[in-house]
A = this chain, B = another copy of it.
Amino acid sequence: MHSKEELEEVHQRILPYIHKTPVLHSSLVNEISGTDLFFKCENFQRMGAFKMRGATNAILQLPKEQQQKGVVTHSSGNFAQALSLAAKSIGIPAYIVMPSSAPQVKKNAVKTYGGIITECPPSLKDREENAQRIMQETGASFLHPSNDTNVILGQGTAAIELLQEYPDLEVIVTPVGGGGLVAGTALAAHFFGKNCKTIGAEPFEADDAYRSLQSGKIETNKTTNTIGDGLKTQLGDKNFPIIQQYVSEIIRVEENEIIEALRIIWERMKIVVEPSSATALAAVLREKEKFRNKKVGIIISGGNVDLSQLLF
């Protein structure tokens, strides 16, 4: 269904709008983990997360006339910011439906990137109804943060770049939230790697993907009580089949393992990453024997942390 050429086209299409992010390598963290780790740093991506890739591809794949009418999503996280900045870069409006309860810092970030915010009561029903209304009023196209083929293919371009730089990676590990990143990465690893596996990392506290792979159908999160606030979202029918076919395994991690991995990344690697990003390293540290002496890619998903409360 998908092909290497298709993924290459996606990459070429979004390249003018994204950063080719650096890959970091830390001998200290290699020592701690017993593996050879290559961190693809999407925290250095525009607006601070890989979501910029998928949002850009999804907008660029809309027919020109439809594109001009703008895009709409309901999200309080990185995708809202990514869609706002991608739309601004391409020169079209982005309508963002946000729950009124969303932190002011997230509303400000969306505004900074040029997104047009509609606030609504904090229920999924209200969010969906507001998005629907905006679509009818403006003709804007709805884009989903993770369950959209063009978004998935866009997210996969981080792994394409990682494999272009390090073609011998034996496995790539990514966090699993809505499933867009892990699905896109798995396609990229399949088409651009040499027998490179993809493994997902997920908090026990939001393990819908793990249980979905076990049962063979999309399961819902029973809890979402995790520090990885980008990982509370659900798999969807577009990314689940790709995950079933191309992802080798989902490793679940405890909250204290995420925090320990987060500390290692901040302290040893000196980079600012979101808690969600740390799940991938946490999975490698939890199952050391599985990864021992392997060449392992890790997608650092983003770096948008509200530092104001912590540091200043």
Contacts and interface: CB of A to CB of B under 8 A. Distances in A.
Interface of A: 22, 24, 27, 41, 43-44, 46, 48, 259, 262-263, 266-267, 269-273, 303, 307, 310-312
A266 B44 contact: no
B310 A48 contact: no
What are the 3 tightest A-B residue pairs by CB atom distance, in nearest-first order?
A270-B303, A270-B272, A43-B270
B44 A270 contact: yes
A202 B46 CA distance: 31
A89 to B, nearest CB: 11
A272 B272 CA distance: 6
A36 to B, nearest CB: 16
A79 to B, nearest CB: 18
Contact of A270 (B259, B267, B273, B312): B273
8 contacts: A24-B44, A262-B311, A262-B312, A263-B307, A266-B307, A266-B311, A267-B272, A270-B303
Given A22-B22, A24-B44, A310-B311, A266 B272 contact: yes
A269 B41 CA distance: 11
B310 A259 contact: no
Given A270-B303, A271-B270, A272-B270, A263 B48 contact: no
Given A263-B307, A266-B272, A310-B311, 18 more contacts: A22-B22, A22-B24, A24-B44, A41-B270, A43-B270, A44-B269, A44-B270, A48-B270, A259-B312, A262-B311, A262-B312, A263-B311, A266-B307, A266-B311, A267-B272, A267-B307, A270-B272, A310-B310
Contacts of A273: 270
Given A270-B273, A272-B271, A263 B44 contact: no
Contacts of A267: 272, 307
A312 B263 contact: yes
A24 B259 CA distance: 27
A271 B46 CA distance: 14
Contacts of A310: 310-311
Contacts of A43: 270
A259 B307 CA distance: 12
Contacts of A22: 22, 24
A272 B262 CA distance: 13
Contacts of A271: 270-272
Contacts of A272: 266-267, 270-272
Nearest to A300: B270
